[in-house]
Structure formats: C-alpha cells, structure tokens
Structure 1
Amino acid sequence: MSFEIDTQKICEELQSTDRRLKTNVLGQLRDQIQNASENVTTEKIAQIFDQLYLHLLKSYDDRFESVRDHAVQAVNAFLNRLPPMDFHLMNVVSTLAERMGKAETLEPSEEIRLLYIAQLHLMVGQYAKMGNVGVFRECYPLVVKILIKSIKDDYPVVQREGCSTIVSLSRVAETQELRPFTESLLVPLYSMLNHKHAQARISAVEAIARLSLHIDASGEGMRRLFNEVSPLLMDTMPLVRREVGQMGILMLLQLLDRYSFFERILPLVLCCLKDDSPEVLNHIYPQWLKCGELYFDENEAEMTQQEISDLPAENYPEDVKRPTIGCRGLVQRSLRLLQLITRETGDWKDNVRLHSLKLLYQFVLHAEAAMTAKFFEIYGDLAHACVDPVPEVNAEAAKVADLMGRLLSYDAWIDHGFDGLERNARESYMRCFYHMFSASLGGTYDQLMKLARLLRSTDYSHTLKPGFQLYILKLLDTILDKSQKIKPEEDELQDLYESVYVSGVKVMALSYSLNSHGNEDVNRGQLLIERIVQLEETTVAKIHERWFHLALRDVENLDASLDDNSEPVMLLDGLINMCHLRATYIDDLMEKVKVVFEHCSDSAQVKIFSSLSMATLFWSKTMNVDHQSSTQKLKVFVSQIVEPYLTWKAGSNAEAMRSLAMATLCALAQGAKEEAVDVLPALAKHMPSLLEDRNVTTRHYAIKAVVYFRDMSVEDLKPLAYATMQRMDDPSAGIRVLAALAVGKLKPKFSDSEKEAEHEKEVWAAFVTRAMDLLLLYHESPEKDIKAAVEVTLKVLAQSHPEAWEDRFKRALCMVQKKDQLNELYDKLTINDEPDPEASTTE
C-alpha cells in the first residue's frame, strides 16, 4: 500500500477560515501518520513533517479550540515516528513557550494547556529513550518557563502533568545542565505542597524529590527543601506521607552528598516506620532495609566489626522487630538531630508533639545503647511530654520512655535519672523515670533504697496531686518487684519495706482525704501494703503496729493556723481513717490531735475530730491488747481528747466540737463495749446538760449514748435517767423515739447492802412510776413511731415492775378518752408472766 500525502493541499486547507475543514485535515493527517506501516521510512515521514511543521505549529495559535487540539495531536503523531532532532525540538518548544510560557498565558483552554504540557512530556520521554536528551541543553530556559507555568496553572490536572514532566526530565537530565534551573522550578513546587488536592501534593513531592538529586548541596537550597517538605509528614492523607517517605528513600539511595544530609533525610523515612497506616509502613519498610544494606556495604569494615558483639537487650520488646545493623548504623551517626526532635515535643500543636515523639521512638529503637550519652539532653523534654494534656501524646511519650529503659545502658543513665528526680519533684519527671526504671533490668539494693527514701520525703509522698500520687504508688510497686531479684540481708530488706510502707501509707492517706472515700489510689495502696504483709509473712494489723508511728512522725507543722485543706491536716486525717487507733501509736496520735485542737482552724479541728469518731468504732478490733490495757488507754483517750469538749462553751465552733465529742463518745460506747462499762460512768455528770443541748445533733448522739451507761448506782444514774425521760418531749421526733426506747434500757446497779439496796429500789421505782405515766400519755400520740417505741418500753417496765404497771394502768384508765386502746395495750403487755429477754435490747 502506497503512502502518499499531498502536503501542498494540506497547507492550503490549513490556511482556510473553515474550522471544520481544518479539523478534518488535521485529523486525517494524524490518522495517516499513526497508521503508517513499518515499511514507511523515517526519512519519508521527516520529509513530510519538514514541509508541514510551519503550518502545523501555526495552527497552535488558531482561534478555534478544536483546531488547536487536532494540531497538537497531529504533531504528537509525527514526534512518535521521528528520531530526535534539535531542529524539531526547538521549533515545538518555542511554539509551546509562546502559547503558555509567557507572563500572560495566551492559551485560554485548560484542556489545550494540558495537551501542550503532555506534548512536552512526550518529547522528554522520546528523546531520553533514544539517548539524545542532551539536545535539551539549548532550550532548557524555554522548557523551564513552560514547566513553571504548568505548575502555577489553575487546572490541577495541568499541574500534576507538569510535575510528572519534571520527574521524567530529572531522571534523564545531566545534573550540571539542569542544576541552574532547579531553584526556579522548586519555588512554585513548594507552593503546591499546600494544595487542597492530595494528588497534587503527592505529585509536587515526587517532583521535588527528583530535583533534590540535582540541587547544589553547598547552598541554602537543600535546607529550604527539607523545611518545606517536612510538615507533610503530618498530612492527613496516608499517600502523601508515604510519598514524603519515598523521597527520603530516594535521597538515601541516590543523593551523591547524602552522608552530609543524613540528619535531615532520616526523619522523612523514620516517621513513616511509625505511621498508623499500614499502606505507608508496608511500602517504606522494605526500601528502608535496602538503605541499610547500602550503608552496610559502604562501611563494611566498620559494620562487620560492630556486628560481632551486636546482641539485643535481654528485655527487648517482644512485639517489636529489631532493625538491621545497617539501618541502626545509619541512625547512630545522626544523633545530633535529637535536640531538634525533642524541642518539638513542646510545640503548641498537638499533632506536632505526637509526630515528634513517634520520630523519637524510632531514633531510640535504632540507636539503642549508642543513645545513652544523649539521655541528659532529652530527659527534661521527654518528662514534660509524659504529662501532656492530650492522652495520645503522653501515651506515646510513655512508650518512648519504656523503650529507653530497655535499650539504654542502665548503669550510664540511672544516676542522671535520680538526679532529675531530686532536682525536680514533679509528676513529669516521676512518670518518665517510672516508665524507664520499671522497664529496665537494673536495680541494686542501694539504688532501691535510695529511691524508696526519696519517695518517702515530703517533696514526694506529701503531694496533693492525684496523678503524682498514682505514679508514686506504681514506683513503690516496682521497688517491691525488683527487690525480689536481689539478695540483700534480711534486715536490709526490712529497712526497704519500711520505707515503702511509710511512703505508701502517706500517699494512700492523702488520696483518701482528698476524695473522702476509696478510689484507685487507695485500692492500689492497700494492695501495696498487702504485698509487704506477704513478703514479711505477717498481718496488716502488725504491719501498722510496727511502722505506722514512722508515718505519723512525718506529720509536721501542725502548730499553725491551718485549715482543713492544708496538707498536714489532710495527711493526719487520712492516716486516722485508713489505719484507725492502735495501742502502739495511740499516744503519739493523741499528741498530734491535741496540737491540731490547740493551733489549727475550726474547720481543721472539726475534720480531725470527725475522723476520730469514726475510727473509735473499730476500737475493739484494732487495739489488740488485753482488757485492762485497753480500758486504761480508753480512759486516757477520753480524758484527754473527748471530755474537754463535753462541757458547754459559747460559740459555733465549740458547739460543733461538743457535738463531735458526743459522737465520739457514742462511737466508743459501741466500738469498745466492754471497756466502756468502766469508762463511761465518770462522764455521767456531763450527760444531763448534753441531753439538753440546743444542737439537735448533740442531743441525738447523747440520747443514743445513754443506754451504754451501765453498772452505775441509782444515785449516779438518777440524774441521767430523768434527763433522758425529759427528752420524750424533745422537738425532734427522732430524739423522742430514742428517748422512749432508752428509758426502758436504763438499769442501775443496786448496792450490796440490803438496807441501802431497799432504799435504792424505792428511789428507782419512783422513776419507773413517773416514766410509766409519761409513756402512757405518749401512747395516745398520733405518731406511729413514738407509739411503737412506747409499747416496747412499757412491756419491759411492766414485766420488771408488774405492781407499778397495774397501778399506773388503773390510774390512766380513768383519765384517757380512748379506753379501748389502753385495754388493748394492757392485754398485749400482760400476756407473758416472764420478762421478754428481747425487749431490753430492742432499738
């Protein structure tokens, strides 16, 4: 089949004003060239192009968009079949530069501009494929202008095609020829890094990566490049982050001066190794291994020597794959970057802080023990990150600290770690040290003892910060864990456990006082004490009895006007609530309490007294001494702490303290029932006034305590009994009920002398008679509770004094209006001849 093209006719038709004619001519020409058989020689096609190229390139300026479109496609058809010639290249490039390389772009159509830049891309590919890319040196200025305009184009597809063209050109261009133009190309590419389309950002990074191989490394260009690209490591799109990592890989493998820039290149790659997206990690990791292999090959002698003694740490993280020796070597020579990384952990942006910590993790993972010397430089920044307000950030900081504890040389960092704790008694350093220390394998007895004493000091164990308290308890747990791995003397272990106990019980006490109830810290503290109990093979009570006085000794500065929220008062309050009252330290505790009552504010006094009243409920369980000793200690406690506040004094604080003293007395009567029999009678003289106190709470506790005054003579019990009976007329319904019940529970101890006993019984019978009259009067009350209480007490009195009951019943029967109710009560109370044993204990 012959291949004939009438070039003269085509030229004439291209000069026509008919759009359709020109479009058809160009379309037919394109098809003929594309479909030309292999038998058509290149010379034949070149001859045709030489005759037509002027008219074809002139069509690039045609006013019809379709004509310009077909003209570009026709030229593309020729370029695909022609060998590279600088003549053709210059003509086409000049035309493209005329159309879209000037300050004002002449080509209005986005689609045509895309065809122009695609044609330039085609020429780059064709000339490179045929090994004649050198001819571009003459037209680099025009090519660069076209590329710059394409990058700045409003049409994203044109921008991406321009980036692709730069990538292709950078792959094949000679560095010396392209270098003068790299800076002018990079500037518009940097502006694309903020493009709203992720694909545009990816294209820009890829183009920048390729151009970086041609930049003059001695200037500022490389520094700016890293500064512009690095923020994209935190891009929201994983593929953008992956492209940045790919850029780092390219530099590590192909940049001629890469050894000078390892410190800036490595973050681009290492950040991708800790990326949350699997598609980023899976793409970058295999290539990172190749970078390590290349570094190993280039430094084989040094790396081989290092590999001989290169064993992983005994406690290497189980779920982490150890980097190859080449990859580790790459990072270990770039540790100067650490200060820059840790500085960013304090950035105001959350994502920057998180990103820097992930990068720091990779540095620690690769540098291992080689990083130990840098610990003192980053300790403060990492500690600050451990208390970051953003949970994700402080969790990442904890991971870094844990890894450092595993991989850094323990003996080299531990002293500096202690120094940081001693100089900075803050939660930040405590958290950082905890994560490192607990993850490490080290810990001698002297170090454990030093740490336990440090935590016992007031700077640490007296803190009121809940987070700080939690990590103190965690670190104390770690001390106990590590103490099992060392073999000190038995007395040395006891000294260690003593310091751990004192620190733990103080923190637990403050935590309890802060929250007014049990919480996680209190529970953790109790578990800590239980661990010590198991290690010492004893009981919780004996541990408290042995060491609690040491914690109490640390409660200082109570001789000031402290309020209830001050640390010494809260510590004392928590200690009382957590450990109660025990024989071994009750004297010391009373001295502390008396100082509070003498010097501290009203609120502090009330707080401590309230806790004491609760603690006395457990007297019989916690005192752990014989009855005589317990009674003696109770007498001292009551006389020194309780009795001074039972007497009436003016003032609201005195009223509150009187109420609490009465509450404590009531609690003691219940918590030390046997001892109270010997102690309470001496306080009976205070009870009548307390039962008439204007404070309803005081009267309430007083009426509850009355029933515990036992084994008293009629003479001593009589004032108390009549004062109790008067409370049946109290304004408070609850007190009236308690008083009605209490009257029936009062039991005097009659004299051993028969004569005196007879007189005492007559006196007591008079009280019983008066009580019955009053009870029968209240039986008519519409209040159900008081009526039920009256029935209970009358049953007790009726069975113990039947003659008096018969007499008072008959007397009341003549006076009451509801005789049927009284008769019903009489029948109910006289069913049994024997006294009801349960009646005397009914509340």
Structure 2
Amino acid sequence: MLVVKLMVAMAIVKLATNMAATDERAASDVMKALARHLNCLNEDSKTTRRRALEAIKKDTIDKGLSGGVLQEIFNCLLKSLLKCLSDSMERCRETAIHMLGDFIRCVPHPEDSLPYLMPALAQRLGGKEILEPAEELRLSTVEVLTLTVEVCGSRHLAPYLDDMMKILQRTIVDPFPDVKRESCKCTVNFAKSIPEHFHMQAGCLVKPLMQTISHQHSRVRVSTIEATGAVIQYGTGKNLDDVLSHLAQRLFDDSPQVRKAVTIVVGRWLLQLPDRYSYFHKLLPLLLSSLSDDIPEISQVATDLWRQTGALWEKENEDDLKDKMDFLLTPPGLYPAGVERPGLGCRELVVRNLSKLLPALARDVADWVVGTRVKTAQLLYTLLLHAEDHCTQHLQLLLSILYRACADPENEVVTNCLMSAKLLGTFVSPEVFLKLLLAHVKTPSSSSSSPHTPVMVLGAVLAGCSRDLLRPHLQGIANVLVQPDVCQEYQQTVYLEHLLSCVNVLLSLCEEDCGSISLQILQMLITVHSLSAEPQLTDQVEQSVLCLCRVQGQAAVTDLYRQHMAQLLQWLSAFHQTWTSYSAQRLQLQVIATQSGPVVGEFLPQLMSLLQKCLHPDRDPEMRLHMFTMLSTLLLDAGHTLDSQGRFCEHLDGFLLELLLPNLVWKAGRTAAAIRTSALSCLLALLQGGAITPGQLLAVEEKLSPQVLSCLEEDSHLSRLLACRSLSVVLKLIGTSLHADALNKIYPEVLKRLDDSSEEVRAVALETLGRWLASLGKGYNTQLYCQHLEFLFQQLLLHLDDPDSRVQDTVLEVLKTGSVVHPSLLKQEVEAVRDKQRSPIYCDKLLQHIQSLPKDTA
C-alpha cells in the first residue's frame, strides 16, 4: 500500500512539473508576442501607450488563458502595469487599473504580486496629496485594493499593515463619496482578515471615520458605521469612547438605514466585543434607545439583539443567577398590559449598570436638543421597565429627573416621563415613594423648577399603584393635597389640571375607599373650580364631583354638599379675618353657595354669620363688591337657594340692617361708589326674587327708603337706575300700605331723575312715578296734600312737551294714572299749560281722558 501511495505522489509531482513547464512555454510565447507592445508603453505618444495597453489586455485577459499561464504573464507584466498607474493619460491609467483587477481576480496566486502592488498603491493613494485626480479612477483603485484583501489570505497581508493603514486613512476621507464607501468596505474586510495584527494600528482609522460619519449621503454614513464597528471590534477597545458620542448622534439620523446600522453594530459589540463587560454601561443606552424607534424593523432588530445579549450574559453568569432563575419568573402585579417582560439576563444587566446610567440621563434630559430629550425620556421608561423594584434605591434621583422632564415644553418628553412615573408606582412601595413625593409636593421649590411637576408626577405614580397598597395612605395623601399651601397657592391652569388629575386617580383607583376622605376631595374640587379660569377645566371638576357622588352612593350633588356643608363653612370661617378680594376662600365660598343649590338654605345661620363678618364696611372693598355680586345671583332665585327652606325671613332684619344698608352709606371714592352699586343690585335682587314679603318690607321701609333715595343722586347712572328700580318695586309691593308722609318723601327725589342724562334712568323714573300715583289710595287726603299733587302734575306736564315722542307717550300714561287721584286739579293744570306747549295734542288727549272718567271720580 505504501508503495502505491509513493507511486501516485511521484506521478502527481511529475504531472505538475510537466504542467508548469507547459504553462511557462505558453507564457513565454505570449510574452514574446507582447514584447513590441511592452516597448510601446515607453513611447511619448499617449495614443500609442493606450493602444499598447488595450492590445496587451486583448492578448491576455480577453483570451481566457489558463490560470497558470496568466500567473506567469502577470508576474512579467506587473511592474509595467504599476508604472502605468502614473501615466499622464487618464485612459491609460484606467486600463491599467482594470487589468490589475482582472489579473488579481483570475490568477491562482495573487499574493505573489503584493511586494510590488502594495507599495505602489500606498504611494498612489496613501500620500498627503491626492495623486490621482480622477474620482472614478480612485474608486477603481480602491476596488482593486478591496479585491486584493478578499483574495489574499491573512498570512500574506500581515506584512503590509502599514501600507494598508496609510491608504485607508486617506481614502476614508476622500472627497468622492463612492471612494469613502469602498474604503469602509475594504476596512471591514481587512480587519476580519488579519485580526491578530489589525488591532495594533486600528486606532489610527478612528479619526478619519469620525470625520466621515456625518457625511451628507446616508449610504456613506451607513458604510462608515459598519467600518467603525469592525475597527472597534477587532481593535484594542481603547478607542470606544472616541466613537460612542458620534454613534449616539446617528440614532437621531433621518435615515432609518443609518439608525439600523448603529443598532446592529452596537448589538454585535455587546455580543462579541472581547472587553464588552467593561463597556456595558456605555453600550446599553445605545441599543436600548433603538427599542423605541419609530420604524418597526429597527425596533425588532434591537429587540432581537438585546434578547441575545441578555441570554448570553445569563449563560455566562449562570452560577450567580441560579437563585433568581428559579424564583423570579412571575412578573410583578399591575405589570403594564401588552408589554413583554424582558428576560432575566436583560433585567440583571440593567440593574447592575443603572447607577452608572442615571447620572447621564439626568444630564441629557435637560439637553438643548429636543430629539435628545425625547430619546432620553424613552430610554428612562425602558430602563425602569427592566429595573422593576430595584428602582427603589435610586428613587431620589429618578424623581429629580422626572420633575425636570415633566416641565419640558415638548409633549412627547412629558408623555414618556409620565409613563415612567407610572412604572414607579407599579414597582415601588407607596410607603417609600409617598414619603419623598408628598414632601416635594409641599415644598416644590426645593425639588423642581416648576411647582406643578411634583403634583403631576404624584398623579402618574398613584395611577400605577394598586388599590390595596394605597388604601392605608389615602388619609395622608388627602391631608397634604388639601393644605392651603398646596391646593390654593398656585392658580396656574396647568397646576390646577394636575391637582385635579391626582383627585381623579384616587377616585378611579380607590372608589368606595375614598369615602373616608370625601371632605378633603370635595374641598380640593371646590378649590380647583374656584381658581379655574378655563371653562373646560370647570366642566372636568363638575364631572369629578359627580364621580365622588357615585363612589359614595349618593343620588345628587346636593346630597354631597348636605353631608359636608357644615364642615365646609367652618373650613372657610377659620381665617375669614384675613380675606381679601384675592383670597381663594372668597372664591371657594362663591362656588359652595352657587353649586350647593337649595342646601345653602339649610345652613343660613352659619352663612349669615360669615357674610356679616365679610361685608362689614371696614373690610376690603373689592371683596365686598364680589360678595354682593354673589348674593345678587342667589337672591334672584331665592326659592331654590337662600330661601329654599322658607327660613330666610328669620335673618332678613340682620341681612338688611347689618349687611346691605351700612354699605349704602355714602363715602368718597370710586371704589365706595362701586360697592354702593353692587349693594343696590343685591337689594333689587332681594325685592324681585321673592325672599321678602310685603309685611317684612313694610316693617323696614322707614330705614330702607332714605338710603335708597340718597342713591338717586349718585354719579353712576347704573346706581341711579338701580335705585329707581328698587323704589318702583317697593311701591309695587307696599305702595298702598305706606303712610302719606312716607309717600310724599319719595316723589320729589324721583322727579329730579326726569332730567337725568340717561334715557334709561328717565324711563324708569317715569315708571316709578306711575306706580307712586297708583299707590295713592283712599287713605291719601287729596285736599290736605293738594300742593304735593299740584307740584307733581306741573312737573309732569312740563315733560309732556318733551322733544322725544316716546317720553311724551310715557308721561301721558303716567298723568292718566294721576287723573284718577285728583281729576279737577289735573284738568285745571292741563288747561293752564295747553296753549304754552308747542303742540296741544297730548294736552287734548289728556283732557279727553279726564272727561271720560266716571262722574263720581271727576
């Protein structure tokens, strides 16, 4: 058997020798035929050199010679072809480059050319200046270099490491984008070919790659990222810090392919980088950020790579994780619905690096670039989803990050951070997070730049908590939120919205359990309602009040107010002496009085006591102004508010004599005048709303009328108008019951208003005089008080000749009413002025009316 093998080996050697000899003869024959063309390559004529190269190509490459023959020919032609690379004619250089590529691709031993090829290419491409002016030829040359790396083994390329690095340093930053891409491709192949040697000089390629990574062409950026991945992976790892910030910027790239390339490169580093354990805290943010990419493909790639990373780490640290692998398979309660729980290895990687990641997040969440802040907020959510209950030990820093992020003007940042806050409620015990959060809510200036952010975060955290865990802390939460410094200090809409959000979370999460804090919740809702300037927010408050009714099993809002009205009034009365027009308590009282409906009539003693103190003439004028406006609204519908129980009459004397009349006393100043106007409005509402009976009004008329009559002289036309209307209603209610002396005090003051500058006041004054005349019953002695009637008729007849026909018509109707009182006197006065007026028409109409009266009246 051994003899047979020896004989076969000898036959093979002999055959190879014969084939080599044959190839040498064939090559020799071809070279003899090419001798003339080779000589032509040294000619001065460009055309001659070009034709010579084309002829050589035709007689060698294009003839399809065997590999052995081509190898011999290539060895002979190599120097001449390399010399042609510096030919002055572009076509010659182009042909020479393509021939080099064809030979390298076809010959069996292309590595034999390396001692001549590599120095020539290094000289051509690796110098400080670009020797090849044509972009396409530089591209072709780099393609030849890439081909050389692909076909030559690592054993042959290693000696030429310096030359390759010189070339790549220059071509990676070449002005031509295609050259950059091809150079990056060559870098990847070269790094993979000689990893045991490449790491020694890999660092020199980092700078040119980072100069190219932000190129305007997305395909160039993709190629650069891939080359960077190879340089770092097959390098020493010392340059990782130099590239991370650049790769992080590419995560914001508009091109999905660029972001995908970054994701793949970082994922491979996490799986294959020799010293990856040292860089986990730097690489994790890049890969985890891609989990939330807008493009599903990128997100899926990142998910797969992250899952592989966690599984690999879990396998490598199996002994350390043995206990956790057995007991941590069940996800925490309230785990986000529809979210797949990361594997144990992934969770452990995040937990062990979280302390190194959070400080960077705290910095980036305040970055001036919106995209960075959005990515940071998304990354925070991902980290907390992995960290689970380990968030507890970092809670202080996490809350600080959330406060800052929730004040961001970008909605997407805020949305992601509120999702993160909800995770804190899921994973952290309420006993722990409430201790910090409630302290920050009470003193927001020490924890955040915006006072609303702690309240906003509190609402989100509570939303992630469980009802059972939160139940023991409801009273503490409510007691903090209802404090004046918390719910009344800030009146910005955004603050009130988040305070309302906290209330709604408690109502929706704890439902019936909120019965123990029903009063505090109602106080907060009243406060938000009173301070709100937005109708939409007010509507939301009303819905929350209805929700509070439902969770307590109450049929209507009035039942809720009935349950707590005494406590609410006591709550407001505690500091009434400090109230001003800007006090929240004044607004809260207005909400309680108007929203409680008929319930307010059940607690009149407490309410009247509070109003008496607040409407004292010595109190803040503007506050009193608002109070009277509120009372006017209530009195206009007294039957369904203040007098819902028919008990307002018991407090009427105090209301008039202690609240209204003292505020009608004249004082100098516009503010005092405005208060008198509002008090008159309140008086008119009292008279018109039915809360006072004629008998009650008659009892206080003697004290009331002088104050109202004095208001007829007010500078404000509105005050004069309200005073006239009030007198008109008084006469309507008790005019026939008034003593003649009381009546005679009224009409002279009203007569003066017939010359008022306001047409509206004149009209109401005439209406009042008509009611005054209608009030003169049988008890009015017309003979005794004839002078009063005579003066009144004379003044009215003057206005019967008014230029305004509408005034004349009104005066005529008033005089017709007066004709019943003393017809003869009126007839006498009319006849006396008939011929003095511009037109006797109205006098004649009045005389006709008097004539038509029954004889006993006349």
The answer to whether the superposition gives a TM-score over 0.5 is yes
AA paired with 2:665? T
Residue 699 of structure 1 pairs with residue 720 of structure 2: yes
Which moves more between the two structures, 797-806 or 686-695? 797-806
Write the deviation string for residues 546-573 of structure 1: whole angstroms up to 9, x where unpaired. 534544535776656x874465666566
AA paired with 1:122? L
Give the aligned partner of residue 471 of structure 2.
445
Write the deviation string for residues 394-437 of structure 1: whole angstroms up to 9, x where unpaired. 22222322343345555654444334334437311110110121
Q: How many residues align?
A: 804
Spell out the pairing of 1:170-569 with structure 2 (5 A cutoff). 170-174=191-195, 176-217=196-237, 219=238, 221-299=239-317, 302=321, 305-306=324-325, 309-336=328-355, 337-408=357-428, 412-424=432-444, 426-442=451-467, 443-462=469-488, 463-484=490-511, 486=513, 494-511=515-532, 515=533, 519-534=535-550, 535-537=552-554, 539-548=556-565, 550-552=567-569, 553-554=571-572, 559=577, 564-565=581-582
Instruction: Please tell me whether the aligned partners of residues 737 and 785 of structure 1 are also in contact (alpha carbons under 8 angstroms).
Output: no
**Correspondence for 2:137 among 108, 112, 124:** 112
Distance 1:101 1:735, change over 3 A: same
Give the aligned partner of residue 123 of structure 1.
148
Aligned-residue offset at 1:735 = 0.3
Alpha-carbon distance in 1 for matches of 2:642, 2:179: 89
Distance 1:431 1:758, change over 3 A: closer
Aligned-residue offset at 1:776 = 4.6
Distance 1:294 1:652, change over 3 A: same
**Residue segments in structure 1 that go unaligned for 5+ positions in a row:** 487-492, 752-756, 834-843
Give the aligned partner of residue 51 of structure 2.
24
Alpha-carbon distance in 2 for matches of 1:714, 1:494: 62
Instruction: Please tell me whether the aligned partners of residues 741 and 792 of structure 1 are also in contact (alpha carbons under 8 angstroms).
Output: no
Alpha-carbon distance in 1 for matches of 2:169, 2:431: 58
Alpha-carbon distance in 1 for matches of 2:173, 2:371: 29
Give the aligned partner of residue 836 of structure 1.
none
Alpha-carbon distance in 1 for matches of 2:322, 2:377: 28
CA RMSD of aligned residues (A): 3.4
Alpha-carbon distance in 1 for matches of 2:52, 2:520: 99
Which moves more between the two structures, 613-622 or 205-214? 613-622
Instruction: Please tell me whether the aligned partners of residues 533 and 540 of structure 1 are also in contact (alpha carbons under 8 angstroms).
Output: yes
Which moves more between the two structures, 250-259 or 178-187? 250-259
Distance 1:312 1:398, change over 3 A: same
Which moves more between the two structures, 110-119 or 710-719? 710-719
Alpha-carbon distance in 1 for matches of 2:707, 2:114: 118
Give the aligned partner of residue 717 of structure 1.
743
Distance 1:622 1:271, change over 3 A: same
AA paired with 2:325? Q
Alpha-carbon distance in 1 for matches of 2:159, 2:428: 57
Distance 1:193 1:612, change over 3 A: farther
Write the deviation string for residues 347-400 of structure 1: whole angstroms up to 9, x where unpaired. 233222111101112212333334343223211211221121222322222232
Write the deviation string for residues 647-689 of structure 1: whole angstroms up to 9, x where unpaired. 2223333323222222222222223443476245131121221
**Correspondence for 2:839 among 807, 818, 828:** 818
Which moves more between the two structures, 711-720 or 735-744? 711-720
Secondary structure, aligned partner of 2:618 = helix
Instruction: Please tell me whether the aligned partners of residues 576 and 614 of structure 2 are also in contact (alpha carbons under 8 angstroms).
Output: no
Give the aligned partner of residue 652 of structure 2.
634
Write the deviation string for residues 756-777 of structure 1: whole angstroms up to 9, x where unpaired. x544566688766655554454
AA paired with 1:362? T
Write the deviation string for residues 38-59 of structure 1: whole angstroms up to 9, x where unpaired. xx43221111011111110011
Alpha-carbon distance in 1 for matches of 2:83, 2:227: 32
Which moves more between the two structures, 154-163 or 547-556? 547-556
Aligned-residue offset at 1:741 = 1.4
Which moves more between the two structures, 354-363 or 164-173? 164-173
Instruction: Please tell me whether the aligned partners of residues 442 and 486 of structure 2 are also in contact (alpha carbons under 8 angstroms).
Output: no
**Correspondence for 2:178 among 151, 154, 157:** 157
Residue 622 of structure 1 pairs with residue 645 of structure 2: no
**Identity across matched positions, percent:** 22
Write the deviation string for residues 315-340 of structure 1: whole angstroms up to 9, x where unpaired. 44345444445544443433221232
**Correspondence for 1:51 among 35, 55, 76:** 76
Alpha-carbon distance in 2 for matches of 1:809, 1:522: 61
Aligned-residue offset at 1:455 = 1.0
Residue 42 of structure 1 pairs with residue 77 of structure 2: no
Alpha-carbon distance in 1 for matches of 2:553, 2:771: 47
Which moves more between the two structures, 177-186 or 107-116? 107-116
Alpha-carbon distance in 1 for matches of 2:155, 2:822: 131
Write the deviation string for residues 277-316 of structure 1: whole angstroms up to 9, x where unpaired. 3443244334444334434444456379536542344544
Alpha-carbon distance in 1 for matches of 2:528, 2:655: 27
Write the deviation string for residues 251-275 of structure 1: whole angstroms up to 9, x where unpaired. 1222122233222112111111112
Secondary structure, aligned partner of 1:705 = helix
Residue 98 of structure 1 pairs with residue 123 of structure 2: yes
AA paired with 1:46? Q
Alpha-carbon distance in 1 for matches of 2:695, 2:293: 74
Give the aligned partner of residue 837 of structure 1.
none
Residue 645 of structure 1 pairs with residue 663 of structure 2: yes
Distance 1:801 1:331, change over 3 A: farther
Secondary structure, aligned partner of 1:157 = helix
Distance 1:209 1:126, change over 3 A: same
Give the aligned partner of residue 14 of structure 1.
41
Alpha-carbon distance in 2 for matches of 1:280, 1:141: 37
Give the aligned partner of residue 19 of structure 2.
none
Instruction: Please tell me whether the aligned partners of residues 384 and 429 of structure 1 are also in contact (alpha carbons under 8 angstroms).
Output: no
Distance 1:685 1:423, change over 3 A: closer
Alpha-carbon distance in 1 for matches of 2:654, 2:773: 26
Q: Give me the TM-score of the superposition, normalised by structure 1.
A: 0.87
Write the deviation string for residues 41-97 of structure 1: whole angstroms up to 9, x where unpaired. 322111101111111001111111221111111110110012345441231111111
AA paired with 1:267? P
Distance 1:53 1:485, change over 3 A: farther
AA paired with 1:306? M
Write the deviation string for residues 622-646 of structure 1: whole angstroms up to 9, x where unpaired. 124543x302323212222221121
Secondary structure, aligned partner of 2:530 = helix
Distance 1:479 1:786, change over 3 A: farther
Give the aligned partner of residue 838 of structure 1.
none
Distance 1:800 1:120, change over 3 A: farther
Aligned-residue offset at 1:587 = 2.9
Secondary structure, aligned partner of 1:61 = coil
Alpha-carbon distance in 2 for matches of 1:143, 1:592: 94
Write the deviation string for residues 518-538 of structure 1: whole angstroms up to 9, x where unpaired. 622322222222333342525
Alpha-carbon distance in 2 for matches of 1:697, 1:252: 81
Alpha-carbon distance in 2 for matches of 1:702, 1:469: 41
Aligned-residue offset at 1:237 = 2.9
Alpha-carbon distance in 2 for matches of 1:762, 1:136: 139
Instruction: Please tell me whether the aligned partners of residues 372 and 408 of structure 1 are also in contact (alpha carbons under 8 angstroms).
Output: yes
Write the deviation string for residues 429-472 of structure 1: whole angstroms up to 9, x where unpaired. 11011012123223543311111111110111112222111111
Alpha-carbon distance in 2 for matches of 1:194, 1:266: 22
Instruction: Please tell me whether the aligned partners of residues 252 and 258 of structure 1 are also in contact (alpha carbons under 8 angstroms).
Output: yes
Spell out the pairing of 1:607-686 with structure 2 (5 A cutoff). 607-624=626-643, 626-627=645-646, 629-675=647-693, 678-679=696-697, 681=701, 682-686=703-707
